[in-house]
Amino acid sequence: MSETGVRPSYRTQLLTADTWPDFAALVEANNGVWGGCWCMGFHPEGLSRDSAERNRDAKHALVRVGSVHQVLVYDGADCVGWCQFGTPSELPNVLNRRTYEKDVVELPAWRIGCIFTGKGHREAGVSRAAVCAALEEIGRRGGGVVEAYPEQVEGRGPQRGSYLHTGPETLFADLGFERDRKIAKWRWVMRRGVDPSR
């Protein structure tokens, strides 16, 4: 493991038209991800609840025009997970949005949306690798305040991975995020600053 707790063999790439087949292969191997969302829930178009194909086509269209920010994690040649990030205008559909909007003082520069790890690779540092790479990319794009919306895991019973599609709070706390406010029984807004880098 490296200092960040990421397995050295992992590498990351951004989701682009060139890496779309790798992303699509991972989604398809995992039943469309949470029933066919194709990681569309945070995007302005939102999630089509009745058509995985519609979600796939919408995601592919966004990737083709370059309006998606998403880090893919690879173990060898295989894409095994990702972390989605973007500006509030790119990812406006925050979970628990009504509660979130009651107490907004200032929008962040960036949001971290969905985090996903494929079957057979969970609890092996994939999410950490994805979030670390997303934070590095945010630094390259000017940095600023970053928000995440993870699930609290301490004080709860065993959780299935499907409940953690915005990540566990402990991961973000390890990476320097601090609680800002609670927006659901087990969900927090967490924030940290990221310095600009070259």
Give me the pLDDT at residue 1, please.
Answer: 42
pLDDT in tens, the chain (198 residues): 444 555 558 999 999 999 999 999 999 999 888 789 999 999 999 988 788 999 999 999 999 999 999 999 999 999 999 999 999 999 999 988 989 898 878 899 999 999 999 998 988 999 999 999 999 999 999 999 999 999 887 766 665 544 578 999 999 999 999 999 999 888 999 999 999 986
Q: What own/partner pairs with CB < 8 Å and gap ≥ 24 does 58-61 have? A: 60/20, 60/24
Domain count, the chain: 1
Give me the pLDDT at residue 157, please.
Answer: 62
Range of the domain at 91: 15-194
Say if 1 falls within a structural domain. no
Say if 4 falls within a structural domain. no
Say if 10 falls within a structural domain. no
Domain with residue 171: its CATH number is 3.40.630.30
Say if 183 falls within a structural domain. yes
Say if 3 falls within a structural domain. no
Give me the pLDDT at residue 3, please.
Answer: 46
Give me the pLDDT at residue 51, please.
Answer: 87
Say if 111 falls within a structural domain. yes
Say if 114 falls within a structural domain. yes
Give me the pLDDT at residue 159, please.
Answer: 56
Q: What own/partner pairs with CB < 8 Å and gap ≥ 24 does 122-128 have? A: 122/161, 124/7, 125/1, 125/5, 125/6, 125/7, 125/10, 126/10, 126/73, 126/75, 126/80, 126/81, 127/81, 127/83, 127/167, 127/168, 127/171, 128/4, 128/5, 128/6, 128/171, 128/174, 128/175
